């Protein structure tokens, strides 16, 4: 075999290693965010005074939600102008704040059902991530449709706050699961494509944080919709 074959083989191996390194960083940051959220949520839920301070105070509770939205918009919209350290700090801050608001699930649902749904969610999330990485189909167009579907879900949930329809809640939750199952595959493929881009260390770190945030949001929303469907309330 000629020398060009070996050069090409070494380049392919190098590309594969770089891809796996980047993807592992994305999932490591996502996992760290999920762990931070879970620990904070559990700590608040099992601390009655703190739970009452956060969940029992509507101004504080909704203030935290607004802060979360601002952090997500900051990471998504200003990532190019901020340092990787700032992006990382904002991601961790968002994970912690999300833990404060999600502590309510430990009070609303039994611990056993929360644990069961978590493992179901983890299995489904892992499966769809693998699909996103392995499929040869371009999921770009699907991502746009699913993003519009998320807006529709938000509107439907707001409407149902007034209607209080159990049937509508069930339908919205089922559609929500399907939407975030699809988004998980879409974001996984997008991260795979990002790993092939030429980036310096700083840009790669910021790209990893963006990818981690996207997957984190997919996991959290998939978990919440599954919990609405299969969770056992106290």
Per-residue pLDDT tens over the stretch 13-33: 445 677 788 999 999 999 999
Residue 11 pLDDT > 50, yes or no? Answer: no
Per the structure, the complete domain to which residue 144 belongs is given by 3-230
Q: What is the pTM of this model?
A: 0.90
**d(Cα 158, Cα 232) in Å, to the nearest integer?**
23
Query: What is the tens place of the pLDDT at every residue in 132-151?
Result: 999 989 898 888 899 999 99
Look up residue 231 and give its DSSP letter.
P
Among 48-57, 76-85, 114-123, 191-200, which is the least confidently predicted range?
191-200
Tokens linked to 226: 């599954």
Report whether 184 contacts 129 (CB < 8 A): yes
- Report percent pLDDT > 70 for the chain: 93
Tokens linked to 129: 């991530």
DSSP notation for 180-201? HHHHHHHHHHHHHHHHTS---H
What residue has token string 């439907």? 156
Residues 6+ apart with CB under 8 A from 106: 41, 42, 45, 46, 114
Domain count, the chain: 1
Torsion, CA 6, CA 8, CA 12, CA 14, rounded to 10 = 70
């Amino acid at each position: 075999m000629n020398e060009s074959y070996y050069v090409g083989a070494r380049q392919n191996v190098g590309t594969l290693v770089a891809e796996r390194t980047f993807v592992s960083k994305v999932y490591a940051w996502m996992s760290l965010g999920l762990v931070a959220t879970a620990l904070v949520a559990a700590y608040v839920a099992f601390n009655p005074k703190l739970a009452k301070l956060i969940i029992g105070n509507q101004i504080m509770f909704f203030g935290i939600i607004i802060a979360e939205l601002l952090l997500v918009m900051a990471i998504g919209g200003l990532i190019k102008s901020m340092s990787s350290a700032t992006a990382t700090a904002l991601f961790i801050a968002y994970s912690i704040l999300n833990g404060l608001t999600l502590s309510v699930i430990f009070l609303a649902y039994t611990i056993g059902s929360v644990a069961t749904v978590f493992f179901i969610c983890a299995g489904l999330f892992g499966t769809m991530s693998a699909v996103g990485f392995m499929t040869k189909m371009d999921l770009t167009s699907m991502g746009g449709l699913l993003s519009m579907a998320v807006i529709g879900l938000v509107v439907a949930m707001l409407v149902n706050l007034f209607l209080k329809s159990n049937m509508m809640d069930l339908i919205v939750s089922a559609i929500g699961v399907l939407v975030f199952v699809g988004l998980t595959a879409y974001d996984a493929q997008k991260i795979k494509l990002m790993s092939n881009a030429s980036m310096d260390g700083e840009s790669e770190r910021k790209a990893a944080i963006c990818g981690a945030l996207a997957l984190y949001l997919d996991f959290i929303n998939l978990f919440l919709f599954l919990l609405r469907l299969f969770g056992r309330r106290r």
